[in-house]
Chain A
Amino acid sequence: MTTKAIWTTRREAMALLSGAVAGVALGGDARAQAAPKRGGILRVSAFTNPSSLDPATGGAGSDHAFLFTMYDTLTEWDFDTLKPRPGLAESWSFTDPTTFVLNIRPGVTFHDGTPLDAEAVKFNFERNKTDPKSNIKADLATMASVAVTGPMQVTLKLNTPDAAMPGILSDRAGMMVSPAAVKASAAGNLTRTPVGAGAYAFVSWADGERIVVKRNEKYWKANRPYPDGIEFAIIPELTTGVRSVTAGQNDLIYQLPPRQKVVVDRSNTLKVVNGPTLYVFQIFLNWAKPPFDDIRIRKAINFGIDREAFVKASLAGLAEPAYMNLPKSHWAYDKSVAGLYSYDPDKARKLLAEAGFKEGTTIEIGSYPDQDSVQRQEILIEQLRKVGIGLRFINAPVAEAAGAFFGAEKRGSGLLAAWTGRPDPSLTYALMFTKDAYFNGGRAPVPPELEAAIKESRASEDIEIRRKAFATVQRLVMDNAFVVPLAFQYELVAMNKKVQGYRPNLLGKPKYDDVWLES
C-alpha cells in the first residue's frame, strides 16, 4: 500500500507542471509520516442522495460512499488489487466446492450493542436472499442454504461451486446489519435507520441535504477511526461541490470528472489524490441485430478507436486505456488480451470491406446529454469517421437511455456508457456476457465456451486457477468483440491539506479507513 501511495504521488508530481503543486505533493509525503491524530469532523461533499441506507434495499453504486462508513463487510478487499482479505469474517474456506465456511470475528458488536455472531450473520444471509425488497438476491443466487455451525461459524451450502463468494461478501451482500434493529423497525428495513458494525454509527439523514455519522467507540479495529465523525453535505452539482471545498466549507470531494482537475490545481489550498479504478467507459453492443451481429464490424470498431488519444482528449489523460474489462493492476488482468486491439485503422477498413459495410453508413448509438458524454461522442465520431463508420448519437438522460437500450425497446445498436465494476470479476462478465443477462442488450446467445469459462472462473477458489479461467473469459469476450472498452477512469479525490491518510482504491468507491485530520 505504501508503494501505491508513493506511486500516486510521483505520478502526480510528473503530471503537474506547476512547481508549487509539486511542493505540496512532497509536503504531503512528509506529513504522511507524522503520527495520526484522533479527533475532528471530516466534512465530505457527496454528489448524490443515497437511494437507501439499508444495504439490502438500496440500488445505486454511489450509496457505498455512505454505506462503507456505517457497515463493515464480512470480507474486505485489498485497496490496490481488490483481492479479498479478512473483515468481519476472520477466515473462510471451502471444505468442498459447494460448502463455504465462514469464521466470524469474536467480540464484535453492532452499534445498538447486540453481538455480531453466527446467528446475526445467518439472519443477514437469509434476509438478503428472501426479503421482497432485497436488491441483492442475485448476488446470493448460488447460496442454497445457510446454517449456524458454531457460535462464531456459519456454513453456506451452494448449489454450484462459487469461488466468487469471498469477493461478493466484500460488497452489499457482506454488509452486516443488526437483526434486532431490522426486527424493531416498522418498515422492516433500515433504509432510514441504519444500524451496522462499521467504524461510524448513524446520527441523522436529511434527504438531499446532509448525512451525519459519529465514531463507533467500540469499533473492532484498533485505534480506528481517527475522526470523531463524518458529515456528508449532499451537493449534486460537482462544480459547486468543488467550490465548497475550495472555500473551506468541506474538506473532501470524491469521484470528480477529470476536467475538474484543472480547476482544483488552480487552487493552492487543495491537493488531489488519484488512482485507477474498475470504472470503465465503454460502448455496449447489441449483437442480436445488424450491424453488430457481424463480428467483423464489431472488430472493426474496436480496431478503429485510438484509445490513447481518446484518453488524452476526453479524460485529460487521467485514465487508463481499456482493452478489456479489467485494468492493469487488477489481480485477474491478462496482459496478452490487451494486445488484441491496438489502434489499426487499416485493419478496421479491411474488416468493414469484407463485411460489405458501405463506407460512411451511419450507426445509431445511445448516450447521455451531459457535457462530458458529448465530448466523448465527438471524439469517437471523428475517430471512426476516418475508418468509414458514421456514428449518430441519440442522447437521453441516464435512466431513459439505459432503459431504451437494455430494456424492451432495444433502441440503437450500441450504448456509449460505463460499467462500474464489481468486487469479483466473474460478476462483471456474467452480467454482460451471458445469454439472458440484463446488460446483454440484445439477449443474444454467446459461444457456449464463453458461458462455460465464466462458470469455470467461479469453480475454484485457487487464485491461480481463477486467474487462468479469467484469462480465457477475457480473451473470448474480446475475440468476439462483444464490447468496445474505451478507458478506465481514475478516482479523482480533492481535499484540503488538513486531510491525511486518504488512499484511493481500485473499486473507486471511497473508503476512509486511515483518514485523519490535522488540527
Chain B
Amino acid sequence: MARRSPAKVIGSRLLQALPVILLATFMVFSLLKLVPGDIAVTLAGDNATDARITEIRRVYGLDRPFLVQYGAWLGNAVQGDLSQSLLSGEKVATSISRAFPNTLLIVAIALLLALATGIPMGIVAAIKPNGWVDKIVSMIASLGVAIPGFWLAMILVAEISLKLNWLPATGAKSFGVSPLEAIRHALLPGIAIAAYGMAEVARQLRGSLLEVLSSQYVRTLHAKGLSMTRILWQHGLKNVSVNLFTIISLLVNRMLAATVVIEAVFAIPGLGSLIVRGAIQRDFPIVQGVVFTMVIVVITVNLIADLLCAAVDPRIEQ
C-alpha cells in the first residue's frame, strides 16, 4: 500500500467538502424560507400596509423564485462576496470577521481547559480502575456532562463577577488590541463550555487507556519488567492518541455549537450571537454566511484531526 501524500489527502478532502457546503447552505436557506415569518414585514416597518410589504419584496428582490434567490447568493459567495445584511446593510464578511475571533478565543480557552483537566483525570482514573480516585473522577465527569452550560455560566457570573468582581460579567474585547483583557472576558464563558469537554475527555481517555492497558502486549511489557510509568507514557498514551484527536475534533465542533447559548448569556458578539440574530430577523444573508463559515471550520478541524491521526497511526491512511 503506497502512502498517499498529505497534499493529496487534503485535495481530495476539499473536493468532498464542496457538496457538503452546497448542501448545508441550501438546506439552511430552504429552512429559512419554509418557516413562517418574513423579513419583508420587518423591513417594511411598524406602519406597514399590505401594498408596502409587496413593494418591499420587489425592492429587495424577495419576490423572485426561491431557487433564483439561492442562486444569486451562491453566485456571489463563489466570488468571495457573502453579500450584506438585508436590515442593517453591513457586509456579512465584516460581521463575521469581527465575530469569529471572539468565538474562536472562547473555544480555544475551553478546549485548553478541558484538555488540561480532562487528560490528567482520565489517566489517574485508568491507572487504578474502580479505585477511589477513579470513583471521584467518574463523579466529577458525570456532573460535567449533566450540568447545563448556561446554568453553570449564570452561577459563575453571579459568584465570580457580581459578588467577587474578579472577572467581567459580559462582553468581549478584541484580542489584537489587548490580549489580557480579551482573555479575562473570555475566561468565564470558556470555563462554562469547558466543563462538558473536561468530562468527555476524562471519560473517553479512561476508557481507551483501560483497553490498551489490559491488552496482551502491555502484559508482556509488564512481564519484561517495564515500570508502570514507562508503559503509560511510552506505550499507553501513544496508542490512545488517535482516540484523543478524534475526541478533540468532535469536541471543537460541539463547543462551537455551545457558543450559541453561552454567547447569549455573556452578551458576547460572536458567531453564535450573529446567527441567532440573523435567524430571528430572517436576515438570511447573515445566517447563510455564518453557516458557510461554520461548515468550513468543521471541515478544517476534521481534516486536521484526520491528518494527525494518520501521522501517528499509519494504518489509518486508507
Q: Do A and B come from one complex?
A: yes
Chain A residues packing against B (C-beta within 8 Å): 49-52, 58-61, 132-133, 135-139, 187, 191-192, 205-210, 233-237, 240-241, 243-244, 246-247, 249, 396-397, 399-400, 402-404, 407, 420, 427, 431, 436-438
Task: Indicate if B266 sits at the interface (CB-CB under 8 A).
Answer: yes
Residues of chain B within 8 A (CB-CB) of A237 are: 264-265, 267
* Known contacts A139-B47, A249-B171; A400/B36 CB under 8 A: yes
* Known contacts A209-B269, A234-B269; A420/B46 CB under 8 A: yes
Residues of chain A within 8 A (CB-CB) of B43 are: 51, 59, 135
Residues of chain A within 8 A (CB-CB) of B169 are: 240, 243-244, 246-247, 249
Against A, the Cβ 8 Å flags (1 = close, 0 = not) of B276-304 are 11001110000000000000000000000
B42's contact among A60, A137, A139, A205, by CB below 8 Å, is which? A60
Other A-B pairs beyond A60-B46, A207-B95, A397-B37, 20, CB < 8 Å: A51-B42, A51-B88, A132-B55, A132-B59, A133-B59, A135-B43, A192-B89, A207-B88, A208-B273, A209-B98, A236-B264, A240-B265, A241-B267, A243-B162, A244-B267, A247-B165, A399-B282, A400-B35, A400-B37, A403-B38
A399's contact among B41, B52, B161, B168, by CB below 8 Å, is which? B41
Against A, the Cβ 8 Å flags (1 = close, 0 = not) of B217-234 are 000000000000000000
Task: Give the A-B contact count at a CB cut-off of 8 A.
Answer: 143
Against A, the Cβ 8 Å flags (1 = close, 0 = not) of B139-162 are 000000000000000000100011
Whole-angstrom distance from the CB of B272 to the nearest CB of chain A? Answer: 11
Q: How far is the CA of A135 from the CA of B95 in the complex (A)?
A: 25
Residues of chain A within 8 A (CB-CB) of B168 are: 247, 249
Task: Indicate if B239 sits at the interface (CB-CB under 8 A).
Answer: no
| CB closest residue in chain B, given A398 | B37
Q: How far is the CA of A165 from the CA of B37 in the complex (A)?
A: 33
Q: How far is the CA of A219 from the CA of B42 in the complex (A)?
A: 33
Against A, the Cβ 8 Å flags (1 = close, 0 = not) of B44-72 are 11111110110100010000000000000
Q: How far is the CA of A72 from the CA of B274 in the complex (A)?
A: 31
* Known contacts A233-B267, A399-B282; A52/B88 CB under 8 A: yes
User: Which 5 pairs from chain A and chain B are nearest by CB?
Assistant: A59-B45, A209-B269, A399-B37, A135-B45, A400-B37
**Contact residues of B between 97 and 141, Cβ < 8 Å to A:** 98-99
Whole-angstrom distance from the CB of B247 to the nearest CB of chain A? Answer: 31
Residues of chain A within 8 A (CB-CB) of B281 are: 399
B47's contact among A133, A138, A246, by CB below 8 Å, is which? A138
Whole-angstrom distance from the CB of B184 to the nearest CB of chain A? Answer: 12
Q: How far is the CA of A61 from the CA of B266 in the complex (A)?
A: 25
> How many residues of B sit at the interface, in one of the four size bands?
35 or more
Whole-angstrom distance from the CB of A190 to the nearest CB of chain B? Answer: 10
Assess whether A52 is in contact with B89, with CB atoms less than 8 Å apart. yes
Whole-angstrom distance from the CB of B25 to the nearest CB of chain A? Answer: 21
Task: Indicate if B81 sits at the interface (CB-CB under 8 A).
Answer: no
Whole-angstrom distance from the CB of B192 to the nearest CB of chain A? Answer: 13
Task: Indicate if B90 sits at the interface (CB-CB under 8 A).
Answer: yes
| CB closest residue in chain B, given A396 | B36
Assess whether B59 is in contact with A208, with CB atoms less than 8 Å apart. no
B273's contact among A50, A51, A236, by CB below 8 Å, is which? A236
A138's contact among B37, B52, B94, B269, by CB below 8 Å, is which? B52
Task: Indicate if B253 sits at the interface (CB-CB under 8 A).
Answer: no
Q: How far is the CA of A208 from the CA of B41 in the complex (A)?
A: 20
Q: How far is the CA of A436 from the CA of B52 in the complex (A)?
A: 13
